[in-house]
Amino acid sequence: MAELREIETFLQTLLQPQAFQDYGPNGLQVEGTRPLRRIVSGVTASLDFIDAAIAADADLLLVHHGLFWRGQDGRLTGWLGTRVRRLMQHGVHLFAYHLPLDAHAELGNNAQLGLRLGLVADGRFGDQGLGCIGPAGAHGTLAALADAAGTALQRVPMVLPGDGRPLRRIAWCTGGAQGFFEAAIAAGADAYVSGEVSEPQVHLARETGVAYLACGHHATERYGAPAVAAHVAAHFGLEHRFIEIGNPA
């Protein structure tokens, strides 16, 4: 049976968290007691996810959004206390990787979203090189890109149309990466795909002519954690399943 420290070392080597300036601790966030047979992956360590994973007899959870973030006061009270207590009562281990799981060149959220949209990155941009950019390929028009995103993610994107130019270069960054829009424009994007959008990006799209597609924070970040968890499970001979807890945001 796999040992916790072996899995931890494997994940740290795979995802290189020391290379990132992140908003929370990456790696083992809650150490459990269960022997390691079954991994359950998910986007966020919410209480619904934790309960569903425990019902599925999980030993180890692997998520993109863990429990601890910079700026929290750190007390295990209220909702955070409930989540941690639930994990510890059941002896379940929790691993969380944030930016390292966005960035991994094959298994990360950005690479996996690109795969589903038929996009291959030939460049990087933005803070810590997290953003991806590549040729538009089959998506020569905004309508084609919006259609592909809606079909792949099963969610209709919010589209800010720009100036209607043909698409030659498409940039993307999953989750709450609306702040990367200017960097995507500077990197030569004709359209930018992310999870969320905020008020200023509407004006930037109008004034620069570059289109913006907000495809959902959760929807764009659904693929990295299960890709990494499946890789770990295959290496150590463990079972793995992904549990989707729907989130409209």
Give the contacts of 52 (CB within 8 A, at least 6 positions apart).
40, 243, 245
Please identify, using beta-carbon distances, which residue of 24 and 137 lies nearer to Zn ion: 24
Name the residue type at position 238.
L
Please identify, using beta-carbon distances, which residue of 102 and 190 lies nearer to Zn ion: 102
Q: Report the site for Zn ion in 226-245 (rule: CB under 5 A).
A: none
Least distance between Zn ion and beta carbon 36 (Å)? 26
Of 12-20, 133-141, 144-152, 218-226: span binding Zn ion (CB under 5 A):
218-226
Residue with tokens 């966005």: 102
DSSP string, 89-137: HTT-EEEE-SHHHHH-TTTSHHHHHHHHHT---SEEESGGG-EEEEE-T
Select the residue interacting with Zn ion from 66, 100, 162, 175 (CB under 5 A). 175
**Angstrom distance (rounded) from CA 80 to CA 153:** 29
Please identify, using beta-carbon distances, which residue of 184 and 238 lies nearer to Zn ion: 184
Please identify, using beta-carbon distances, which residue of 42 and 162 lies nearer to Zn ion: 42
Least distance between Zn ion and beta carbon 125 (Å)? 18
Of 89-97, 170-178, 201-209, 231-239: span binding Zn ion (CB under 5 A):
170-178
**Angstrom distance (rounded) from CA 2 to CA 203:** 52
Please identify, using beta-carbon distances, which residue of 113 and 145 lies nearer to Zn ion: 113
Least distance between Zn ion and beta carbon 65 (Å)? 6
Q: Which residue is nearest to Zn ion (CB)?
A: 175
> Could you tell me how many residues of this chain bind Zn ion (CB under 5 A)?
2
Least distance between Zn ion and beta carbon 102 (Å)? 7
Please identify, using beta-carbon distances, which residue of 59 and 221 lies nearer to Zn ion: 221
Least distance between Zn ion and beta carbon 216 (Å)? 11
Please tell me whether residue 108 binds Zn ion under the rule CB under 5 A.
no
**Angstrom distance (rounded) from CA 179 to CA 173:** 10
Give the contacts of 41 (CB within 8 A, at least 6 positions apart).
61, 62, 63, 225, 226, 228, 229, 230, 240, 241, 242, 243
DSSP string, 40-73: EEEEE--HHHHHHHHHTT-SEEEEEE-S--TT--
Name the residue type at position 122.
D
Least distance between Zn ion and beta carbon 43 (Å)? 8
Least distance between Zn ion and beta carbon 94 (Å)? 16
Q: Report the site for Zn ion in 26-55 (rule: CB under 5 A).
A: none
**Secondary structure letter of residue 187 according to DSSP:** T
Binding site for Zn ion (CB under 5 A): 175, 221
